Amino acid sequence: MVCSIGKLYAKVNDYAEDNYYTQNQGLANSQWYGQGAEILRLNGRVSTEEYNNAYQGLDTQGNPLRQRQSGKKYNPGRDITLSAPKSVSLLGLIKEDKVVIEAHREAVKTTLSYIEQNCIFTRTGKGGANQIQTDNALFAIFQHDDNRNLDPQLHSHCVIFNQTQAADGKWRTMDNRELYQQKMTIGMVYHHELGRRIQTLGYELDWNRDGTFDVRGYSQSQLREFSTRKQEIEQAVGQGANAATKARACTTTRKSKIHQAESERKELKLRWQQRAEQLDIKHPEANYQHQQVTKLKDKSKLVIEATEIVSERQVAFPRHILIKESLRQSQGSYSLEDIEREINQNKSLVKIKDGRLTTQTAIDREKQILRLTRNSKDRYLPLANTEIAKHQAQKLGLNKVQASALEYFVNNRDGVILCQGDAGVGKTYTVKALKETISSDVNMRGLAPSASAASELSKGADINSQTLDAYLNISIKSLPKNELIVVDEAGMISSTQVKNLLERCEQTNSRILLIGDIKQLAAVQAGSPFKLLQEKAKLPTIRIDKNVRQQNIQLKEVVDLLSTGEIRQGYEKLNEQGSIKQIPIDSLRLKAVVDDYLERDIKTQPQTLILAGTNKEKDAITKQIRQRLIEQGKLSQESQPINILKPKDLDKFSLTQVSSYEIGDVIKFGHTTARFSKDLYYRVDVIYKNTGTLTLRDNLNHKQNLELNTYKDRTVFKSETRQLRIGEQMKFTRNHYQNQQKQINGQQFTVLGFDKHGQIEIKTKGKTQTVNPDALLYSDYRYVDTVHSSQGKTANYCIYAAGSGKSLTVGKESFYVAASRAKHEFKVYTASTKALGLSVEKSRGQENALSLMKHQIDRQLSTPSREQEFKLLVAAKYLVESQGKSDLQNPQIKSFRTSDGTEIKRDRDSLTITHQGKELKFDRDNATVKNTFSATHLEQQIKARTNEMQQHLQLTRTQTQSRTISR
C-alpha cells in the first residue's frame, strides 16, 4: 500500500512506540513540516507538549487557534502514511544504504508540499457553502522502519492537523474531501519522486504499468520472505481483492504493538541481515553509469500522450488526474515540478468553470458536430406525406405518441433528426413503422453501438443493421449515396463516433435519425453528443415517453418517476413496496440473490434477469449459482475444460510496458504484417524485462520476438479456463467469425454434450452444431449480466445485486436502466439502503466540453448577423460582376467559381453563394432569402472573398498603370 489515510493517534508516544522505539528515539525520527509549522514557529523534532497542543487545536502557548463548534465530535486531523516498496526497504534497512533512506525522506517532503499546494481547503459562509484554498498545513512527520510483524518496512506517518490559516489570518478547520479525492495522486507523487531519486543514485528500477516500481536485483520470492503482513492480508481477502478491501483487512488483521528496547532493535536488524544471507540475497550495487536517467520521451510529448489517455474516457478531468497519469508515464524521467510546469504551459488544455480541465480537441470536436448538424438543416425533401404516415400508424396499432413521432419523421427536412425515447416506450417498433411508411427506393441502414443492439434493431425494425464501428471502417468509396441511417441507442455513442458519422453522411448526402435516451447509460468513451445535439444544435427533438413495457402498476410508477428525473421519489417508492432488501454481510447477501433466483419455478426462472453492479459481484454470484445447479443435478457431473480469452483492456501506454504481460497471455494483431498475421493467435512464452521484449509462439508453433514499442495494433488477452457441463448457459463475448459461422457479442448458447473426440455440441439461435473447443475462445457463463451490458434488454423479472451501494458503477443512469428492464418485478439487494439511495441520485453520465465552458463558445456557431451577410454580399457582387462569365443560353445569368470551390451565381432576381452544400441567397433588394451558413463559416467566407476582391483590385490598378506608362 503506497498511501493510506486514517485516524491519528492522540498521544505522540503512540507514534514513537508504533515503530517500537522508546519515546526519545521515536521523537528523534520526527519532524515538523509545512507552511502552518512556519507560521506557528514549530521546527525540528516533535515534542510531547507541541504535539498535544496541535492535536487540541492550540498554538505553542496553549491558546486556541480556532473556535470549536459545540455539539460536534472533535476531529484532530488525519494520518497520511507513505510506504516505500519492499525492495527499497531491503536496500535501505538491511544493506543500510543511508542515501536511500534520505531519498525516502525527500520524497515524503515533496509529497507533503504537493498536498499543501493542492489539497488544503477550508469552508466559510452559511453551512460551509464557500470552499477556499489556503495553501498551508501543519504536518508532523514520524519515520518508521518496520511493521507490526517486525518485517523491514520503511514508511512515514505524516500527521496533518485539522487547522489551516485563511487569507484573513484566522485559523479554520480543514475540508478533507480534496485530500481523499487525490489519495491516489498523492501516492503516485511519493512513489515517482522516490523512484526518481533512487535512479539518480545509480540503481536500476523495474517500473510497473501502474507507476510503482521495484529496485532491480531482488527476486519476487526474496521480497515475499520479508512481506509477511502482505501475505496475511492476501490470505484474509484473496490476491484479487481491490484496494479498499485490502485496506479494511489491514486494520482487522493488525496485531497489537510490540515495544522493543534499543538492544532488541539492534538484534532485530541483525536477524534481518542473517535472514538475507540465508536467502543468498545479493544486494544490488549503485552504478554511476545509471545515474543519468534515459528520458523515455520529451516532456511535452509525455504530457500530450498522458492527456490523450485521460481524455479518452472523460471530456473533463481534474488537474491532479493528468498529473498522476503524466508521472505514471514519466517513470522517473522528470520531476514533479517539471511535469506541473509543462501542464501549466500546455495551450491545448482549457480550464473550465469548475476548475477541471478539458482539451481544445474536445471543444473543436463538439463544434464540428454542431456545425455539420446545423449545415444539414432544411436541406432534404420529406420522406413521405402525413396521410400515409397516419394510415400506417393506425394499421400497425401505434399509440398517439408513437404516431406523432412517425409523422414527425416523415415530414422532417433536416439531415439530422433527433428522437429522445425513454426506456420501454417502443422506439424500435416506431422505426419499423417508418420503414413500412417510406418509399422502398429509400435505402435504410441501421447502426448501433454494440452487435447485440444492432441484432435487436435488425429483428425489431426489419432493417439491415450493423455496429457503428463496422460502418465507420467501410471505405467511403464503397458507401451508397442518399441513405437514411437509423442509429439506435444513440445515447451510448461517443463524440468521436458521431463526428465521424456526420462527416461521412455529409460526403454521401445521407440523413441520420438518432434514437436514444440521454437518461440511460452513456458511452464508455468521452462525450455525450446525443445530449449535446438536443441542448445546443437548435434542432427540435421529438419525444416518445409513453411507457409500454412495465405491466406491473407499482413498478410502472417507479420507472415513470425515474424517467422524469424524480430519482429519490422513485427509489423511496420502490423501498416502500418492499422491493429493496438490505443485507450488510456480503456472503449472506449473495446467497439471498442466488436463493431468490434458484427458488423460482421452471417457468419464471428462465424469464429472470440477474444484474450485478460490478464484474467481481457478477463472478461471485455466477460461481454460487453453478455450484447449486451441479448439486441439484441441473448441470452434469461430467465436465470439459475450455480456454477462453478475456481482454486485458490495456491503454496505449500500458500496451508498451513489459509489466502488463504475463506468461500465457495471448496477443491478436489487428492487421497482417511481414512478421505477424491477424489470423493467428500468439501466446507469450518468454518475457525479457531488461529489454522490453517478448518471445511469442503462434498456434502453428512458430516463435517470433516482439519489441513492445512496435506493432502496436494489437489486443492482449488473459487466458482463463472454464469448466463446461451439460446444461451450461453460455454467451459469446466478442464479434467473431469461426468456421464461416458468425458469433455475435452477447449471443446465447446452451451446452448439450461432449463427444469422445473432445468436440462440444451446442445449441444457439435454435440450431444445434458441433464445435471444436477453440471455437469457444470468446465465450463465458451467462447467468449474470452487468447493468451496462443489459441496456436494450427486456425481461419479465429482474434481480439487481447492487453491492455496497457505494460503487462508482452505481448512479442514477445505471439504476434507471436496471429498474426499467423488467415487465413485472424488480428486486434489489444491497448492503445499505441509505448508501444506495445516495448513490442513485448522482449522475455518472458523460459530459460535453461546450456545456462546461466558462464563456459561451457556442456564440460563434449561432445565427449569422445581417452585417456579416451584407459584407459577404458586397464582396460576392464585385467578384461575379468583375470576373464572372455569362451563360451563353441566358445572358442574364452570370457565375463565378473561386479557387476554394465557392460558387457565386447572379440572375435577374437573385444572387446565390454556395460552398460545400451551404447556401446564402439574396433577392434583388439585397434581402436574405435563405442562409444555411453558420456565423463561423460566414466569417471565413467574408475573409476569403475580401482577399480575392482586393487581389483583383490590385491587379486591375497594376494593369491600368502599365497601360498609362506605355501611352
pLDDT 10s digits, 651-666: 999 999 999 999 999 9
DSSP sequence for 100-159:
HHHHHHHHHHHHHHHHHHHT-EEEESGGG-EEEE-----EEEEEEEE-TT--EEEEEEEE
pLDDT at 264 over 80: no
DSSP 774: G
Q: Average pLDDT of 789-812?
A: 91
**DSSP, residue by residue, 869-889:** HHHHHHHHHHHHHHH-EE-SS
CA distances from 292 to 215, 333, 338, 423 (A): 16, 9, 16, 59
pLDDT of residue 23: 45
What average pLDDT does this structure show over 359-382?
93
CA nearest 802: which of 752, 850, 836? Answer: 836
594-617 mean pLDDT: 94
Q: What is the pLDDT of residues 154-172, one digit of tens each?
A: 999 999 999 999 988 999 9
Which pLDDT score, from 0 to 100, does residue 923 have?
87
pLDDT category, 741, cuts 50, 70, 90? confident
Distances (CA, A) of 208 to 192, 216, 246, 545: 11, 12, 20, 50
Of the listed ranges 123-132, 305-314, 334-343, 784-793, the one predicted with least confidence: 123-132
Is 602 in contact with 844 (CB distance < 8 Å)?
no
User: Which one of 1-10, 252-261, 325-334, 889-898 scores highest in mean pLDDT?
Assistant: 325-334
Helix, strand or coil for residue 178? Answer: helix
- Out of 554-558, 628-632, 651-655, 688-692, which region has the weakest mean confidence (pLDDT)? 688-692
- pLDDT category at 18 given cuts 50, 70, 90 is very low
- 3-state SS class at 545: coil
Geometric angle at alpha carbon 647, from 643 and 651, rounded to 5°: 155
779, pLDDT greater than 90: yes
Residue type at 143? Q
C-alpha cell at 148: 507490526
In angstroms, the CA 775 to CA 689 distance is 33
Q: What percent of the chain has pLDDT over 90?
A: 70
Q: 897 forms bridges with which residues in the sheet?
A: 903
Express each pLDDT in 169-224 by its tens digit. 999 999 999 999 999 999 999 999 999 999 999 999 999 999 999 999 999 999 99
Round to whole Å and give the CA distance between 274 and 703: 43
Q: Residue 243: what pLDDT?
A: 54
Q: Which three cell numbers stand for residue 136?
A: 498551508
> Residue 672 pLDDT more than 50?
yes
Report the SS3 class of residue 551: coil
Reply yes or no on whether the pLDDT at 532 is more than 80. yes
| Cα separation, 623 vs 857, whole angstroms | 52
pLDDT of residue 246: 54
Asked if residue 533 has pLDDT above 60, the reply is: yes
pLDDT band at 1 (very low <50, low <70, confident <90, very high): low
pLDDT > 50? residue 691: yes
Q: What is the largest CA-CA distance in the chain?
A: 114
Average confidence (pLDDT) over 594-621: 94
Q: What is the pLDDT of residue 856?
A: 46
pLDDT over 70 for what percent of the chain? 92
Stronger pLDDT, 108 or 440, i.e. the higher one: 108
From the number of C-beta atoms within 10 Å of its C-beta (0-12, 13-18, 19+), residue 23 rates as middle
Kindly tell me if the per-residue pLDDT of 249 is higher than 60.
Answer: no
Secondary structure of residue 279 in the 3-state scheme = coil
Instruction: Identify whether the C-beta of residue 913 lies closer than 8 Å to the C-beta of residue 876.
Output: yes
Which residue has 489491514 as its cell numbers?
250
Dist. CA 637–CA 240, nearest whole Å: 28
Q: Is the pLDDT of residue 789 over 60?
A: yes
Residue 292 has a pLDDT of 61
CA distance 730 to 761: 12
**Cα first-last separation, the chain:** 92
Which of 3-17, 106-120, 451-465 is the most confident on average? Answer: 106-120
- What span, in angstroms and rounded, lies between the C-alpha atoms of 910 and 967? 41
Cell numbers linked to 1: 500500500
Q: Inform me whether the pLDDT recorded for 408 exceeds 70.
A: yes
Instruction: Give the separation between CA 178 and CA 131, rounded to whole angstroms.
Output: 11
CB atoms within 10 A of CB 72: 8
Task: Specify the pLDDT at position 528.
Answer: 94
pLDDT at 865: 73
pLDDT exceeds 90 at position 859: no
For the segment 221-230, what is each residue's pLDDT rounded down to a tens digit? 999 999 887 6
Higher pLDDT, 243 or 210: 210
Q: Mean pLDDT across the chain, nearest whole number?
A: 89
CA torsion sign for 108, 135, 8, 51 is positive
Dig out the grid coordinates for 588 from the structure: 449472506
Q: Which among 591, 625, 588, 583 has a CA at the least distance from the CA of 608?
A: 625
Q: What is the pLDDT of residue 26?
A: 44
Select from 784, 809, 811, 810 the least CA-distant residue to 798: 784
